[in-house]
Amino acid sequence: MVLTERQNDALTELINIAFARTGAALSELTGHRVLLDSPSVALHLASELDKSLSRFVPGEVAWIHQVFHGPVAGDALLLLNYEGAVHLTELLTDESNDSNRLDESAREVLTEVGNILLNACLGVFGNVLHVHVGFSVPRLRLDTIKDLIAWLNRGRGELRYALVVFTRFQIKESQVNGYLVLVLNMDAFDRLVKEIDEWIEENNGRQNINS
């Protein structure tokens, strides 16, 4: 699957808007200013996801998963480096976590944060592209990247694409590394591209799609 330059520009702009909303939600949650790196976007076959995610820290990551459904359906994942996830829960609970482990209470907080951030991001997709996106209940897992990819591709014979967006949130002088991964099958990806084309048409009068 190859996107044209205009489609790629539009997709990048859509993700910029979505991440700005996500960053704002994170700022509201933590009560701190959130500095957001410009997100980088890559498209991979789901089976080759490790190429992109290998840049991520080794060891365990905290990831929140939601299935999304509707005209554009798939799996949405928010991945946070473990240390960043611990720090995020400290900011949200105003409690210091000396153990540096994510206990049950911290996991519960993190699951809700993932729900809010994934909704903030995918909700922008829904609003801008005029498609309704429904969500499953979020689930948190702690795994290595390798186990995550194996889980994601389990029992999947179909060709699926993974849209990987990497960014860094800086909150209160600490860095939280985050990946957003959207995994779509061919039909869903075609539909996403079609909606993006329509969005480009809508914006034809204003051809400057800013990055």
Partner 1 sequence: MSGKVMVVDDSAMSRRTLRRILESANYEVIEADDGMAALEKYFLEKPDLVMLDMLMKGMYGLEVLAKLREMNKDARVVIVSADIQNSTREMAKEAGALDFINKPFAAESVLNIVTRILSEETRPNGIDREAE
Residues of this chain that interact with partner 1 (CB under 8 A) are 21, 25, 28-29, 92, 105, 108-109, 111-112, 115-116, 118-120, 123-124, 126-127, 132-133, 135-138
Which residue type sits at 132? H
Between 122 and 152, CB nearer to partner 1:
122
Which residue type sits at 209? I
Instruction: Give the other-Cβ count within 10 Å of 151's Cβ.
Output: 12
Q: Which residues pair with 62 in a beta bridge?
A: 80, 142
Instruction: Give the other-Cβ count within 10 Å of 72's Cβ.
Output: 24
Q: Which residues does 40 contact at the CB level (< 8 Å), separation at least 6? A: 165, 166, 167
Between 59 and 134, CB nearer to partner 1:
134
In degrees, to the nearest 5, what angle opens at C-alpha 170 toward C-alphas 165 and 172?
155
Q: How far is the CB of 23 from partner 1 (least distance, A)?
A: 12
Calpha distance 175→49 (Å, rounded): 23
Between 85 and 145, CB nearer to partner 1:
85
Q: How far is the CB of 46 from partner 1 (least distance, A)?
A: 25
* The token pair that represents 94 in the structure block: 């105003």
Q: How far is the CB of 67 from partner 1 (least distance, A)?
A: 11
Q: How far is the CB of 81 from partner 1 (least distance, A)?
A: 21
Q: How far is the CB of 118 from partner 1 (least distance, A)?
A: 8
Q: Which residues pair with 34 in a beta bridge?
A: 171
Residues 34, 171 contacting (CB under 8 angstroms)? yes
Q: Which residues pair with 180 in a beta bridge?
A: 78, 165
Between 109 and 152, CB nearer to partner 1:
109
Q: How far is the CB of 104 from partner 1 (least distance, A)?
A: 10
Between 15 and 49, CB nearer to partner 1:
15
Between 40 and 136, CB nearer to partner 1:
136
